[in-house]
């Protein structure tokens, strides 16, 4: 009985050790597999054909932005702000909470990405979005070490929506804040002064009229 118990204990330790060693490898394999599963869309793809597709499964490198006038619109469309009073608030797990004016935001280093937005079953847009890296804002606010998520809120008031994104999506700019699209100021119905652009996320996660970022440290299992 003792030898059997010893054998079982050794077996458990071996399996656990192998799990620790293989976990990073399995993660890489899964990531590579996810990339391989992406469908490369040909140039000229009809965006209407994508409304029932998952944006994570699509490689859009060959697509060209469509005119903003052809964009579908979802959610609140008539929210407006007074730019003299408006501020982007950044707080949470930061050492230096910030309130940034619109004029200060557009003077920061900008990024530009061609990103597909899919509103499931309704419409899809493909535009050239221009704005600010959230990672830049986190550095300005001196985010604490070990933060795991950024929560985006907008607009202020009764119609506020909230979406939490993992820090990995922020660090590689898959999620950023846009103040312009297709070379022009973001139209009011599309979220002026700021909207979240969330590559590989469905359109309902693209929060419009953003006014606040909360930097979070979420414990595993929360």
Q: Rounded mean pLDDT of the chain?
A: 88
Each domain of the chain, given as residue ranges in start order, spans 1-37, 39-216
> pLDDT tens across 14-56, in order?
433 444 344 344 334 344 444 458 999 999 999 999 999 999 9
Q: Which CATH superfamily is domain 39-216 in?
A: Oxidoreductase, molybdopterin-binding domain (3.90.420.10)
Give the model's pLDDT for residue 219.
78
**12 vs 1, more confident:** 1
Give the model's pLDDT for residue 36.
53
Q: Which pTM does this prediction carry?
A: 0.82
CA dihedral (189, 195, 198, 203) positive or negative: negative
Give the model's pLDDT for residue 220.
66
> pLDDT tens across 73-106, in order?
999 999 999 999 999 999 999 999 999 999 999 9
pLDDT at 3 over 70: no
pLDDT at 10 over 50: no
């Amino acid at each position: 009985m003792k030898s059997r118990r010893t054998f079982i204990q050794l077996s458990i330790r071996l399996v656990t050790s192998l799990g620790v060693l293989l976990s990073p490898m399995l993660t890489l394999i899964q990531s590579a597999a996810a990339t391989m599963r992406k469908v490369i869309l040909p140039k000229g793809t009809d965006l209407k054909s994508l409304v029932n597709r998952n944006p994570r499964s699509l490689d859009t490198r060959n697509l060209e932005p469509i005119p903003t006038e052809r964009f579908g619109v979802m959610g609140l469309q008539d929210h407006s702000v007074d730019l003299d009073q408006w501020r982007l608030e950044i707080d949470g797990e930061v050492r230096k909470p910030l309130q940034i004016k619109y004029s200060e935001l557009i003077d920061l280093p900008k990024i530009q990405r061609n990103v597909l937005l899919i509103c499931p079953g309704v419409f899809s847009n493909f535009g050239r979005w221009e704005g600010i890296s959230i990672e830049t804002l986190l550095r300005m606010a001196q985010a604490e070490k070990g933060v795991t998520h950024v929560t985006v809120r907008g607009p202020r008031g009764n119609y506020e929506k909230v979406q939490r994104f993992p820090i990995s999506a922020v660090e590689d700019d898959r999620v950023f804040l846009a103040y312009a699209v297709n070379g022009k100021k973001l139209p009011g119905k599309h979220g002026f002064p700021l909207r979240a652009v969330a590559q590989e996320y469905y359109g309902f996660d693209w929060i419009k009229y953003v006014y606040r970022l909360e930097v979070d440290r979420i414990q595993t299992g929360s």
